[in-house]
């Protein structure tokens, strides 16, 4: 799994000491989760919502990584905990992104500043392009080209009426990804643990992009798995991140107030 392998690399190749690295603060918004670690680093990821069926009193959870029991936990504890929930997935991904930030900025990787990955793609005619997630700006731009577009999405209502013709149910991902020349994948797939299956279907020679606030992660493993470009986020006003996230901020709010887009390119 990409997330687990990335954590392993950070603790071995990059010599990160996770016993001493703690969760200093956390904000879980409607759309984004933000984490600040004890070294001052900050990371964000998509907020995934757990189902909330009727819960009997004796089944209520007051254990680790519940309210008032998250701050002060070590990153090692977070990743080695057997607790499995969507909240834990968001928390782990935001923490990985926080840890990765300084490494990404170290000069080790080829980075294009102030760039969106779609602007770096060759969208000449005749290509088959699959977008995973209803990125409205990408759909509009690609729809204007002479390419065949598929958009994998759970909810058809996420599309503008004129774009519903591009809708493909997410369960049919093998039919489109395996024949696509360009595949653009939302970073949220890192949070919900579906990215590995998607990348397994990529055909040889395809250009693969992973993009979004959840994708600002150490790129080594993604590059090994065939990703060509990572659309990441650089925080330029970290003091505003928790305010934006806590007030139901989305990615475009981040880019307006406290972040900018960068692209990490495979060397």
Helix, strand counts (H, E) of the chain:
10, 11
What pLDDT sits at residue 1? Answer: 87
What pLDDT sits at residue 54? Answer: 65
Cα→Cα distances 19→22, 77, 182, 218, Å: 8, 8, 40, 20
For residues 132 and 244, is the Cβ–Cβ distance under 8 A? no
What pLDDT sits at residue 51? Answer: 73
pTM strictly above 0.85: yes
Residues 120, 121, 124, 130: is their CA dihedral positive or negative?
Answer: negative
What pLDDT sits at residue 59? Answer: 78
Every domain of the chain with CATH number 3.30.390 lies at: 2-104
What pLDDT sits at residue 57? Answer: 81
| Per-residue pLDDT tens digits for 122-144 | 998 899 999 998 889 999 999 99
- Evaluate whether the domain defined by 2-104 bears CATH number 3.30.70: no
E strand segments, 51-190:
110-113, 128-132, 148-153, 167-169, 182-186
- The DSSP output letter for 127 is -
Rg over alpha carbons for the chain, rounded to the nearest Å, is 19
Every domain of the chain with CATH number 3.40.50.11590 lies at: 110-265
Report d(CA 235, CA 77) in Å as an integer: 26
Architecture of domain 110-265 in this structure: 3-Layer(aba) Sandwich (3.40)
Report d(CA 229, CA 117) in Å as an integer: 7
pLDDT along the chain (267 residues), means of 10: 93 89 97 97 93 74 92 95 93 97 94 95 93 92 95 90 93 95 95 94 95 94 96 96 97 96 94
Spell out a b/e string for 35-59, using b for 16 or more CB atoms within 10 Å of the CB, else e: bbbeeebbbbbbbbeeeeeeeeeee
What pLDDT sits at residue 55? Answer: 73
Report d(CA 108, CA 90) in Å as an integer: 26
């Amino acid at each position: 799994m990409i997330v687990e392998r990335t954590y392993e690399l950070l603790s071995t190749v990059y010599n990160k000491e996770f016993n001493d690295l703690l969760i200093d603060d956390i904000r879980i918004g409607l759309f984004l989760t933000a984490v600040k670690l004890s070294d001052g680093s900050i990371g964000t990821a998509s907020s995934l919502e757990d189902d909330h069926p009727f819960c009997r009193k004796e089944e209520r959870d007051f254990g680790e990584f519940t309210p008032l029991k998250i701050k002060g936990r070590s990153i090692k504890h977070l990743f080695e905990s057997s607790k499995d929930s969507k909240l834990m997935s968001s928390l782990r991904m935001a923490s990985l992104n926080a840890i990765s930030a300084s490494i990404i900025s170290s000069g080790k990787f080829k980075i294009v500043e102030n760039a969106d990955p779609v602007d770096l793609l060759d969208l000449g005619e005749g290509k088959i392009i699959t977008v995973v997630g209803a990125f409205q700006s990408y759909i509009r731009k690609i729809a204007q080209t002479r390419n065949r577009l598929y958009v994998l999405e759970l909810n058809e209502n996420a599309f503008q009426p004129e774009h519903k013709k591009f809708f493909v149910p997410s369960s049919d991902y093998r039919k489109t990804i395996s024949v696509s020349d360009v595949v653009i994948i939302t970073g949220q797939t890192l949070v919900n643990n579906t990215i590995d299956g998607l990348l397994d279907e990529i055909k040889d020679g395809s250009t693969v992009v992973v993009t979004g606030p959840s994708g600002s992660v150490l790129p080594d493993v993604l590059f090994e798995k065939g990703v060509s470009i990572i659309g990441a986020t650089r925080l330029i006003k970290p003091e505003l991140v928790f305010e934006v996230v806590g007030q139901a901020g989305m990615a475009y709010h981040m880019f307006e107030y406290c972040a900018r887009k960068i692209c990490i390119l495979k060397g």
